Chain A
Amino acid sequence: MVIPWVGFPLGDLVKRFKPNSRAKYVEFTTLMDPKQMPGQRYPVLDWPYVEGLRIDEAMHPLAILAVGLYGQALPNQNGAPLRLVVPWKYGFKSIKSIVRLRFTERLPATSWALAAPREYGFYANVNPEVDHPRWSQKRERRIGSGSLLSRQPTLPFNGYADEVARLYAGMDLARNF
């Protein structure tokens, strides 16, 4: 699905905190509130949800913090009031309802990487070459546009290779999935 997000570059926010050279990663945490978020009442993941980006990924102008979509304020179910959008990564990197941002020296322990390290890595860059152990990621059906019935080849970095591939120059992306 192609979504017209309303937001601002994450980098602008990061710069305000003037992270020093030891800040290698940014760690995000979702609100923990089982009353409002009934899904947190059962330990499907180790709540609250935690995501992370490398600092250079976080500074990339395509990484945005969204406050709305389709010209409207962000609805609760889409991660109000503040949600991350990283268009070259798989959806689960886009953490919702962020209440905490932390700069770290070490790779943050992110929720899905903790729950199933074999299936979900830290980077989660869209990559048709690397299958999820249980399903292929070679093709996708773009919901809301094109033919409902046809799948199209998935593009590396979700089509943003020209913009972001250099961030990963020299990395083995099959290992760092």
Chain B
Amino acid sequence: MHADRLARRIVKPFVFTLCLLPLAWLAAGLLGWPAASLGANPIEKIQDTLGIWGLRLLLVTLAITPLREMTGWAPVVAFRRLLGLFAFSYIAMHFLFYLLVDQGIDWRLLLEDIAKRPFITAGFAAFLLLVPLAATSTKRAMRRMGRRWQRLHRLVYPAAILGCTHFYWQVKADVREPLVYILVLAVLLGWRVHRHRRSRAADRPSAMPPSIRRPPAPVCQSSPSSSSHQPSEDASTGSPSSTMATNSGPSWRNAQL
């Protein structure tokens, strides 16, 4: 379909390039381009830039499903795995930079940091939770794991919460910036809780008078079994199920990281 091809052929490479920009900016700074100057403390600047973009991309990834359901623009899901993997890449670089450059591979100090400093414990835990998600992001892993894949990939929620906590605990006094991220995450997770409750209520029609029952949602159309399970990401696709069925391989319907 046209929109789908547009998303995959044009928008996706565009998003891919966008995701590389923070890295390109750091590279420009390292090469001495004045506009991208890394300032007086380049190591701290690189460390912070990698971390903040990891968190931003993680939140953008979590915004894809709500965006799809609110706009009905299904092809947007084509970017979810891409964004998720970029988020993981930035977070992994953030961690590796901390380990190799900031700590200078001093394992004793690293372990002490992880054990004794809550903000580092939170950040490290978030990173660990994301590792299996990145490792199972391939089409093959999705196919092989089936339902377990979705259950595993819900780890992205605690990872995002830990990531925001890591940021909040790290600042010295001015918490305005981390609070913005916490607020965004709260909206993204709140939306999911709300949708989950609503779809559960809709599955029990007798519990509500017909007048306030919402119109039959695609949730029920594409996944009649959802009454006994939590509604899964791809089961609640907001677009007409026929479109989904014809266009989408299992690959990007499931790409959920």
Known contacts A143-B40, A143-B41; A134/B118 CB under 8 A: yes
Chain B residues, CB < 8 A from A174: none
Query: Is there a chain A Cβ closer than 8 Å to B250's Cβ?
Result: no
Chain A residues, CB < 8 A from B118: 134
B43 touches A141 (CB 8 A): yes
Q: In the complex, identify which listed stretch (A16-24, A59-67, A79-87, A145-153) lies at the interface while the others stay far away.
A: A145-153
Chain B residues, CB < 8 A from A32: none
Query: Is there a chain B Cβ closer than 8 Å to A171's Cβ?
Result: no
A44 touches B173 (CB 8 A): yes
Q: Shortest beta-carbon distance, B121 to chain A, in Å? A: 11
A151 touches B173 (CB 8 A): no
A150 touches B169 (CB 8 A): no
- Of the A-B pairs whose beta carbons lie under 8 Å apart in the complex, a sample of 28, sorted by A's number, is A1-B40, A42-B174, A42-B176, A44-B173, A44-B174, A131-B116, A134-B117, A134-B119, A134-B169, A134-B170, A135-B113, A135-B117, A136-B112, A136-B113, A136-B116, A138-B109, A139-B109, A141-B43, A143-B40, A143-B41, A144-B40, A148-B42, A148-B43, A149-B43, A149-B101, A149-B104, A150-B104, A151-B104
For the residues of B in contact with A, the DSSP-based class is helix
Chain A residues, CB < 8 A from B43: 141, 148-149
Q: Which residue of A lies closest to B112 (CB)?
A: A136
Encode A44-71 as 1/0 by CB contact (under 8 A) with B. Answer: 1100000000000000000000000000
Which of A115, A134, A136 lies in contact with B109, CB distance below 8 A?
A136
- Distance, CA A116 to CA B169, complexed state (A): 13
Q: Shortest beta-carbon distance, A141 to chain B, in Å? A: 7
- Distance, CA A150 to CA B119, complexed state (A): 23
Chain B residues, CB < 8 A from A44: 173-174
- Distance, CA A127 to CA B205, complexed state (A): 66
Chain B residues, CB < 8 A from A135: 113, 117
Chain A residues, CB < 8 A from B42: 148
Encode B84-96 as 1/0 by CB contact (under 8 A) with A. Answer: 0000000000000
- Distance, CA A139 to CA B103, complexed state (A): 10
Chain A residues, CB < 8 A from B119: 134
